Structure 1
Amino acid sequence: MSTSAMVAKTDLLKQVPSCSYPVPVPSTTDLDVFSWSRIFENVAASVPLRQALEFKTLHSEAYNAVNRTFRKTKKLKIEILSTDSEKPLYYVQDSATKNVDVAIEMVRFVLKNARSVANLELNFEDVNLKALNRVLDEVLNSDHVKLKSFRVRRRHAGQCVTKIGDVIRQNATSLREISRVGISEASHGFSEKLKLDKFGCMSFDLGFQPAPNQIPHHFIRITESGAKIKNFSFTSFSGLDPSDEVVQNMLDGAEVKSIKLTMMSPPVIAPRPGFMIGKIRSVEHVELVEIVPEPQRINKLMGVRHIFEKVFPNCHDILFLQQWE
């Protein structure tokens, strides 16, 4: 190539822009305040209470984000677990402590900062109910509690917690689901304001061998309360006699649509002529669950199938199940 040609090419390249694109160089990008705020909120919502509070010391935006997270809190979860030592272990929002006063302060903090607590979960294993009653007092005295769901778990039989009934009564207009409360606690707290989609109770709050008139007495109180229940479940040692007048009055008065009975042994059904057995036509679904140590080939509850079929004529298929650990 001649010298003049080389000069011309050089001049042309200076004037015409290149069509190729440069390879972008990796660089760090700063997140905006909104993005950091969302990160802090998501992290604070997914960790235990104490860890969430530690984020407040990182940055002013973290402080505000954590506060917004607690304002959005809908569920209060409290556990009082027995340990090998004399002192129980308290969990509030998955944060553990062995100091009952610290646990109460954590409950107060959640209730103070939450706009509206809609779900309450209680799990208590301690024989002494003093701490549990203190916790329930905080729930009852808070203006930020409007429960839709109330779930209870207990370890020991024979423990009747009256304040559980008080919580039910105080939140009667908003409650839609109650799970595993004692029958005496339910009868204490039920009123005509209750319109429940699901109601599950058990007889263990009355002890291992309740008196013959105890369970009927509480069913009568539930019937007289005027509460309405769509789906009813009951756990006991020997189930319920569906032909019993007290049981039928409760199912009929509460307008129950579905029943689930969990028991260790078949119910004791009083002998009576078939034409004297009343019928509950509102019930459309029945489940009978036998508690067994291990799976069995034969379900002993099948022996009372004919009674349930007679009492619930609109239930076309009764399910017989087994439950084991």
Structure 2
Amino acid sequence: MSTSALVAKSDLLKQLPSCSYSVPAPSTDLDVFSWSRIFENVAASVPLKQALEFKTLHSEAYYAVNRAFRRVKKLKIEILSTDETLYIIQDSCTKNPNVAVEMVRFVLSKAKKVSELELYFEDLDLKVLNRILDEVVESGNVELESLRVKRRNAGQSVTKIGDVIRTNSTTLREITRVGISEASHGFDDRIRLERFGCMSFDIGIQAAPHQVPIHMIRITESGAKFSNFSYTSFSGFDPSEPIVQNMLDSAEVTNLKLTMMNAPVIASRPGYMVGKVRRVKRVELVEIVAEPQRINKLVACRHIFEKVFPNCHDLLFLQQWD
């Protein structure tokens, strides 16, 4: 074993808790490359702050941590609203918004290519979130393939999320739970998604009648394509509405999932005026309930969905509860 490997082993063992019994010495000593891989794997599995502290352990650890940061693919950001706002970046927590922004900047500067962004926010004040998303937009090391968003409060439309989408429109393949207003802001004709999930709660629990159609028109006009489309809202949408059908046709949707609390309001019109969407092969209608119910209220809409989607082979009625 080389001298540096022996020193690395000695330093690492100092960090381990002592035991009341002796551990038999291994039959084979590890070389410096093996210790380096150990350092790198440990650094990749712990929160950001611990990984940075790990760099001071030994010179081999220092270089191994840098290699681990270069391999980072996912950026995870959480903003929690408690007595004090907490910012959690790569599982490391801080109360200082400036430190949170610096942590994001550090991760993005070290990573070779970040392809996943996982975002959760509760804070009503979006200033820090916008600063963090600015770092994502401006980084040259971000090529997102997946964007996952969760939020606690309704009525919060984050334009910067749309900016993130537009900046990564050529590489994105999956977007989940963004607001419909954020999607309409960020979509363009370069968008080619395998999975797109959005909801209307960014414009309120019960949006005004004209608000959702406006954003659907913008998505249609953008030229974006997404084969699997899921939409969560208070009462779904009327599948016989031409604006809805135009969006589904333009986007070339084949699988549709609607999650809602109440059944959609469907306009009364003669059968010959009901258009067809022929690409859709599968439809899931999910009713949100407090507890399992024997009767799914959405079944009452079966006839209109069967008429609008004549080539749908699977029309499923499901329930979702906590």
TM-score (norm 1): 0.91
Question: How many percent identity over aligned positions?
Answer: 72
CA distance in 2, matches of 1:281, 1:36: 59
Per the alignment, residue 127 of structure 2 pairs with 130
Q: CA deviation at 1:240?
A: 0.8
Q: What one-letter code is carried by the residue in structure 2 that aligns with 1:47?
A: V
Per the alignment, residue 89 of structure 2 pairs with 92
Q: CA deviation at 1:317?
A: 2.0
Q: What one-letter code is carried by the residue in structure 2 that aligns with 1:260?
A: K
Per the alignment, residue 35 of structure 1 pairs with 34
Per the alignment, residue 16 of structure 1 pairs with none
Residue-by-residue CA offset, 1:240-265 (whole Å, 9 max, x unaligned): 10000000000000000100000000
Residue-by-residue CA offset, 1:251-284 (whole Å, 9 max, x unaligned): 0000001000000000000011112111111000
Aligned pair partner of 2:316 in 316, 319, 322: 319
Q: CA deviation at 1:38?
A: 1.1
Matches within 5 A, 1:11-160: 28-83=27-82, 85=83, 87-160=84-157
CA distance in 1, matches of 2:26, 2:100: 47
Distance 1:27 1:176, change over 3 A: closer
Whose Rg is larger? Answer: 1
Q: What one-letter code is carried by the residue in structure 2 that aligns with 1:44?
A: A
Per the alignment, residue 250 of structure 2 pairs with 253
CA distance in 2, matches of 1:103, 1:317: 46
- Tell me the secondary structure at the aligned position of residue 313 of structure 1: coil
Q: CA deviation at 1:137?
A: 0.7
Q: What one-letter code is carried by the residue in structure 1 that aligns with 2:60?
A: E
Residue-by-residue CA offset, 1:138-170 (whole Å, 9 max, x unaligned): 111111000000010000000010010000001
Residue-by-residue CA offset, 1:22-62 (whole Å, 9 max, x unaligned): xxx97653211111111111111111001111111111111
Structure 2: give runs of 5+ residues left out of the alignment.
1-23
CA distance in 1, matches of 2:115, 2:25: 47
Residue-by-residue CA offset, 1:51-76 (whole Å, 9 max, x unaligned): 11111111111111100000000000
Q: How many correspondences in the alignment?
A: 299
Per the alignment, residue 226 of structure 2 pairs with 229
CA distance in 2, matches of 1:194, 1:293: 36
Aligned pair partner of 1:213 in 187, 210, 214: 210
- Tell me the secondary structure at the aligned position of residue 193 of structure 2: strand
CA distance in 2, matches of 1:276, 1:284: 22
Per the alignment, residue 280 of structure 1 pairs with 277
CA distance in 2, matches of 1:65, 1:313: 57
Q: What one-letter code is carried by the residue in structure 2 that aligns with 1:197?
A: E
Distance 1:68 1:273, change over 3 A: same
- Tell me the secondary structure at the aligned position of residue 247 of structure 1: helix
Residue-by-residue CA offset, 1:89-115 (whole Å, 9 max, x unaligned): 110000011111111111011000001
Which runs of at least 4 in structure 1 moved beyond 6 Å after TM superposition? none
Per the alignment, residue 8 of structure 1 pairs with none
- Tell me the secondary structure at the aligned position of residue 57 of structure 1: coil
CA distance in 1, matches of 2:27, 2:103: 39
Q: What one-letter code is carried by the residue in structure 2 that aligns with 1:67?
A: N
Per the alignment, residue 162 of structure 1 pairs with 159
Q: What one-letter code is carried by the residue in structure 2 that aligns with 1:268?
A: V
CA distance in 1, matches of 2:112, 2:261: 43
Structure 1: give runs of 5+ residues left out of the alignment.
1-24
